[in-house]
Structure 1
């Protein structure tokens, strides 16, 4: 067992996630975009640490998340790990309460408040995040409004859990918040049962998750047809019909970035580290 603290494991999970390769379409230690590089993710992980420390110390989830995003944003690449931090923060909160289980994370989510929702909205002021337009009638709650939406949150009494529930059908991270992080915990078990270098296990976990469900970030940035293609071709890699490295090069060239899947891998790595994964 490691003597790393919970917040250290969260930071390490971010570092291991971006180190995994190949992860078709994502930045990794061998592939990057002109304006979004491997080094940006390393700096983002280090910058997020103070916010993760707050979550480990029992601070409100929303406050810890907003502080983590603020720290993450202190590099020149922009948004590197917004979604990953939204996955990690309630997991860290549950771990700090010695209850890193589906039920434990559900409790952490259920305990979020309107103040947490307000902090979540403030986090959007630190970096640009790719999101869809809100459904009709929810325009006042468009997350891109940042602090301007807080009076509406307060008037309607919406907690951060409520906000996540509203997006659970279109956003893969929000869906985890509403399901006890089922996919994250399942992926963590896969990582623990796997063998070899941890970064390689992360790459394989990424492909399994990508083949199982469409990546909602691809749906948002590209379209649903592309997301379905990504899912189909990830399964082809698992079936030995396509080469993962070649697919990674193609997706980067096409600017197809399955970021939601990477966010879930970061969460899975954290759970695995907390459960004894040796690095």
Structure 2
């Protein structure tokens, strides 16, 4: 399979894993966001992922992937995952150094493509730093003139958000959790989507999810982490019922640890490229 195909497969395997507390999986839907929306989003992102594989600029490939992903009724299914996958697919080799080179070489034009991608789907984001309203990603194309005037690259944009956004933090620190997830997936036994679901729970129990913090606040994100730790401990002792109950409760509460799921999708891609077979 090609890197672009492996990226699409990673998106499919990530959503197929279950139980995946708080996120859509093959056993759980939200009222307005269903399993099949994620399947359609993964297929729709293909043209943009192939563009990244062919060496197209990161911003152009990302916007194309998001635009294709948006062609389903659920809205934003994989925006964050694609923001990780595009530079991973584009990299000459799958190493932190190579992917860092890709993202550090992004341009103002790449930033423009990133901002335009927000016009295709509704993405939950934090307010920009004080005095930086002109760079609010929710402005979409309207922010292009400010980007050009300040000569702001896509990497610069990620640096602005890295203190409170887990995907931006991956970009600016060599994709550490993405590569850690791939290594953990490779270590485990069983079906690859089941391994991914286990890694998802382990990661959720290790670090507060930044998407949860954006939507519900820091205290809720920290509470989810503690509950994940309890569920993980029970799972390790052979009690899977608590994990299922935890998964159901987060869905009922509308708490969606999306950043953790996105990072697992990136880890799945790296694992597939390194030879892990589904």
- What TM-score do you get using the length of structure 2 for normalisation? 0.97
What SS does structure 2 have at the residue aligned with 1:272?
A: helix
Distance in 1 between the 2:130 and 2:118 partners? Answer: 21
Deviations 1:102-152 (Å, cap 9, x if unpaired)?
A: 001000011100000000000000000001111211000000000000000
How far 1:170 moved relative to its partner?
A: 0.5
Comparing 153-162 with 233-242, greater Cα deviation is found at 233-242
Which ranges of 4 or more aligned residues in structure 1 deviate by more than 3 Å?
none
CA distance in 2, matches of 1:7, 1:276: 15
Q: Which residue in 1 is equivalent to 2:27?
A: 30
What whole-Å deviation, never above 9, does each CA across 1:34-91 have from its counterpart, x for those lacking one?
A: 1000000000000000000000111101110000000000000000000010011111
Q: Is 1:125 aligned to 2:122, yes or no?
A: no
Q: Does 1:176 align with 2:173?
A: no
Structure 2: give runs of 5+ residues left out of the alignment. Answer: 236-240
Residue 262 of structure 1 aligns to a residue in which SS?
helix
Show the counterpart of 1:250.
249
The match for 1:39 is: 36
The Cα of 1:199 is off from its aligned counterpart by 0.9
Distance in 2 (CA, whole Å) between partners of 1:89 and 1:208 is: 25
The aligned residue for residue 61 of structure 1 is 58
Alignment counterpart, residue 143 of structure 2, candidates 146, 149, 157: 149
Tell me the residue number matched to 1:264.
Answer: 263
Select the residue among 194, 197, 206 that pairs with 1:200.
194
Candidates 76, 79, 83, aligned match of 2:73:
76
CA distance in 2, matches of 1:14, 1:208: 19
Q: CA deviation at 1:243?
A: 1.4
- Secondary structure class of the residue paired with 1:21: coil
Deviation at 1:164, TM superposition (A): 0.3
SS, match of residue 209 in structure 1:
helix
Provide the C-alpha distance between the structure 1 equivalents of 2:90 and 2:105, rounded to a whole number of angstroms: 11
1:231 aligns with 2:231: no
TM-score if structure 1 supplies the norm length? 0.97
Give RMSD over aligned pairs: 0.8
CA distance in 2, matches of 1:55, 1:243: 41
- Which residue is equivalent to 1:48? 45
Partner Cα separation in structure 1 for residue 170 and residue 185 of structure 2: 18
SS in 2 for 1:91: helix
